[in-house]
Chains A and B, each alone.
Chain A
């Protein structure tokens, strides 16, 4: 994994969901460099070039961050708070991923500055479509601030 090259940053503790998402990107012919990290603490170290990622070129920012809400240690909302509060990262679009549209944190996610909120569908076809749609939008259509 070339940690300096990143276009999609996937922060997801569930390996199955991560694998399905990665496969969905491939299926949708979105071959942008994807970095998958398993928890919020790691994600922040990656973004700010600290700890395990000491020395990483932090000017190389992802075009989009896919952030799972439910994670051990530091959950998605905490990660989101950090990203949106930090000068270096606040302009990066963050797409929040969750298992249920009933999530009570949906409003908090938006008020913390989430750019989009995606419910992971149970059906793989739908999941693939959602992931490729959002990849297409944030990577190709959206005029990136970076």
Chain B
């Protein structure tokens, strides 16, 4: 019996357990379900959280950048502020200067109106003096013309009696030589010598006075060919000779016949004044300098004392006696006048006993213009 009761009890117990088991299984299942749901929710929450974290990080980075930008802008602002301070100072200074200038302007205006008044006075004075200058120029021109026609006719009319003096003296020496003693012959020689000198003087004066009347006809002049021509002409007429050196002289623009006269006179002088040297050497050269052409005729002859250099180019001015070197003192005056007429300058350097350099300048800007007008020699 007990067993049976026990069994029954057992059974009851089993049912209870089974039921409990069943219940717990169900509970477990429910729990599992709940867990699953929680896990899903959790993972969702985690995901959401990580997204939010990322967002926060992004914002943080942006914030850092924005902060940097802000700092930079602040910096710039400070700089601008500093610049503004300086600019303001400058403005203040300029305002001050402006005021000063304004004051100065007032003074300057006063000065200007005074000067305007003076100008008017000067204009009146200038007009008067211009009239005077015109009058003087007219008179100078008349005088020059008078002088030129005077020197021309003097030169011309002097030749006639001179021809007679010279002619009769020669006739006397030709036809009456036997009658004259040595002294008589010498005197007659002196008469003829002096007549000859006077002839040269008259010719030189004529050339000089003609220069004043002659109009300049400019063309391009081959200075090498010109020097060559002058050299051969001089060689035929002079007893003295010198070694003359030149090469590649720049072409000049000028009056051919007048430039030839310049070269003739300079070379003639160079040969004459170096005639007492053992080895006379003459060099002709040319340079371009500041828009002008400068030609130089250099010799190693007697030279001259520089303190008399200003007298070289005057008419009838001589630095050597006729006994020492013959001449009339017109040659360099002719050179001076010709170069002056060309708008150039003449000057000289020298040392006694060592030689002389004679220079003349001509404008060289026209040299190219008259290319087609090249002077043909031979």
Residues of chain A at the chain B interface (Cβ within 8 Å) = 14, 16-17, 20, 23, 99-100, 102-103, 120-125, 127
Evaluate contact between B170 and A122: CB separation under 8 angstroms.
Answer: no
Contacts of A102 in B (CB 8 A): 152, 155-156, 206, 210
In this complex, which of A102, A121, A127 has the most chain B Cβ atoms within 10 angstroms of its Cβ? A102
Evaluate contact between B164 and A100: CB separation under 8 angstroms.
Answer: no
Residue among B159, B161, B164 making CB contact with A20, cutoff 8 Å? B164
**What does the 1/0 interface line of B316-350 toward A look like (CB < 8 Å)?**
00000000000000000000000000000000000
Residues of chain B at the chain A interface (Cβ within 8 Å) = 152, 155-157, 159-164, 166-168, 170-171, 195-196, 199, 202, 206, 210
Evaluate contact between A103 and B156: CB separation under 8 angstroms.
Answer: yes
Evaluate contact between B160 and A99: CB separation under 8 angstroms.
Answer: yes
- CB-nearest residue of chain A relative to B207? A102
Residue among B156, B163, B196 making CB contact with A16, cutoff 8 Å? B163
Q: Mostly helix, strand, loop or mixed at chain A's interface?
A: loop
Residue among A14, A23, A123, A127 making CB contact with B160, cutoff 8 Å? A14
- CB-nearest residue of chain B relative to A99? B159
- CB-nearest residue of chain B relative to A122? B199
Evaluate contact between B152 and A122: CB separation under 8 angstroms.
Answer: no
A1–B278 Cα distance when bound, in Å, is 62
Contacts of A23 in B (CB 8 A): 171
A120–B199 Cα distance when bound, in Å, is 12
Q: Least Cβ distance of A11 to chain B in Å?
A: 16
Evaluate contact between B210 and A99: CB separation under 8 angstroms.
Answer: no
Evaluate contact between B206 and A124: CB separation under 8 angstroms.
Answer: no
A14–B164 Cα distance when bound, in Å, is 10
A17–B164 Cα distance when bound, in Å, is 7
